[in-house]
Chain A
Amino acid sequence: MSSPDNNGYGCSRSSRNRLWILPLFLLTACSTPTAPAPAAVVVPTPTVRVQAPSQPYDAFRGDLLDVIAAAVLVERDRCMAKADYPELQEIGGQPASGSFDDLKVTAAAFGATSAVEARRRGFGRDVPAEPPAVRSTSQKFSDAMDRCTQEANARLGPNAMEVQSRYYDLGNQLRMALRPVYADKMPPRFAVPVLACLRAKGFTSKTPDVRTFGIPFGNAGPEPSPGWDKRGVLQVRPANPARPYVPTSQESALAAAWYDCTTTAGWPRFQLTRALALQATTVHNLKPQLDELTPTIKSLAHQANTVIAQQ
C-alpha cells in the first residue's frame, strides 16, 4: 500500500520533478556517445535492461519510447496549463516505464520460479499500481488535449508522432512473434509426464490446463472506489495502489505442484529456449524496420531528454 506521500509507484509525488533523472540515465547509458553525462545527478540503480544478459530483442529500444512519452507529457501539460487547464500539470505527468519490458524474456515469464513463489502467486496476476487519472466530458478540453498533444510531439521533431506510432507497432509485432511460446498447447512429450506427476500429487485432469482441475481461483481484491475530486471542468482521481492477487488455498497447492511437475519435465526451460530462438528469427525478419526506425527513436529520445531537463 502507498503512504500518503507515495503515489503507489515507489516515489513520492513531491519527487515527480526529479523523475527526469531516469530517462537521462537510460539515454546516456544506452545510446549516442556524444550525449553529455548529466552533471551532479544521482544515478539510480541500473535497470534490469542494463544488467541482464543480452537478447536479440535488445535491438528494439522500448525504453526510449518511454522517455519520449514522458517528454510529450511534460510539454502537453505545459500547453494545457496555458489553455486554462492547469490540473494536468498540477498532478504531474506520470512517466511510463517498462512499456515493452516483457520483451525481455526470462524464466519468470513462464510462471513461478520457485515452489514458494508458486504457492504465493497461484495462477492470478496482481493489478499493478496506477497513477492519478483525469477525466472530462468537455469537448473543449478534448480539443485542447488533441492540439497540445500534437504540439508537444512537434517540439521533438517533425515526424515524431508518426515515428513513435510505427515504433509501437514494431514493438507489438515483436511481441506477437513470441505469442506461440505462450499460447501453444503443451505438447504430449511434456504433457504426459506433467499430468502423471500431478496425479501423483493428488491433482487429476485429462489436459494440462490449470482450469480443468476443478479448483476455485482467487481474486485481486475489490475495485478501488473512485474518489474523484472536482477541479473546474475536470475530475481528478489520486493514484491507486497495487492490488495483490490472492489465490485460494487449493489454487496455491496446485500451483506449487504445477511448478514442481513442469520444472521436472523441463517445460519452462523449453519455453525460454523457444522464445530466444523466435527472437533471433524475428529480429532477422524485421531488421529493415529496426534499422530504419531505431536511430530516429534515439534521436527523438535525445531531444526528449532536453525537453525534460528544461522543465
Chain B
Amino acid sequence: MKLLPRLAAVLALAGGAAAITTVPAHADNGDGNVACNSGEICFYFDYSLGNLRRHFWNADMQHNNDYYWDPANNRQSSIKLMDTAGSFWNRDTECAIKIWDITSTGDWFVTFTAPRGWKGDLRTVGKQNRNNGHSRC
C-alpha cells in the first residue's frame, strides 16, 4: 500500500491514540542494521515489509515510545510504531511473538501470535493495525 493512505490513517488515529505511559524512548533497536537479521523482531510501517522499520531484540510493552527508522533518509521517522505497524517479521530464534493491544478501559489483550519465522501483512490482526506492545515466548 502506498505511504500517503497509511499516513492519513495515522493522522486519523492520532486523536484517540493518547499514550498510556510516559517513558522516554529507549535503545533497543536490534542490531541497528537495515536488514532484519537472525534474532531480531521486526516491525514495518508498510504492509509489505517496506522502508520504515523498527527492530527489537527484547519484549517491549510500550510501543508508544518507539519510532520507525527511515533507512532511505538515514534518520528516525516521526511516526510512532504504536497502532501503525503494517507488516512484521519474526526472526527471533527461540520464540513466538505475541502482539498486544490495550483498550480505552485499560484492558490488555493479545491480538496476534506470530510463530518463529512468521512474515507478512498485519492487516489480519486488526483494521487499525493496533499494537501497543510485544512479548517473547
Contact = CB atoms under 8 A, between A and B. Distances in A.
Contacts of B23: 219-220
A42 interface: no
Interface residues of A, number: 68
Nearest to A66: B96
Nearest to B18: A211
A182 B101 contact: yes
Interface residues of B, number: 56
Interface string A97-134: 10110100000011100000000000111111011111
Given A135-B37, A142-B37, A130 B136 contact: yes
B92 interface: yes
B94 to A, nearest CB: 5
A109 B26 contact: no
A167 B75 CA distance: 39
B28 to A, nearest CB: 5
SS class of chain B's interface: helix, strand, loop or mixed? loop
Interface stretch (A29-37, A221-229, A278-286, A301-309): A221-229
Given A134-B93, A135-B38, A137-B38, A123 B106 contact: yes
Contact of A131 (B30, B124, B137): B137
Given A130-B58, A222-B26, A175 B104 contact: no
B104 A223 contact: no
Given A134-B39, A175-B112, A223-B58, A186 B105 contact: yes
Interface of B: 18-23, 26-28, 30-31, 33, 35, 37-40, 57-62, 92-96, 98, 100-118, 124-126, 130, 133, 135-137
Given A176-B124, A209-B104, 14 more contacts: A96-B96, A96-B137, A97-B137, A125-B108, A125-B133, A128-B135, A131-B95, A133-B93, A134-B94, A168-B118, A211-B18, A217-B22, A219-B23, A226-B57
12 contacts: A94-B95, A110-B107, A123-B102, A124-B21, A125-B133, A127-B60, A127-B133, A135-B30, A135-B31, A175-B110, A220-B23, A223-B27
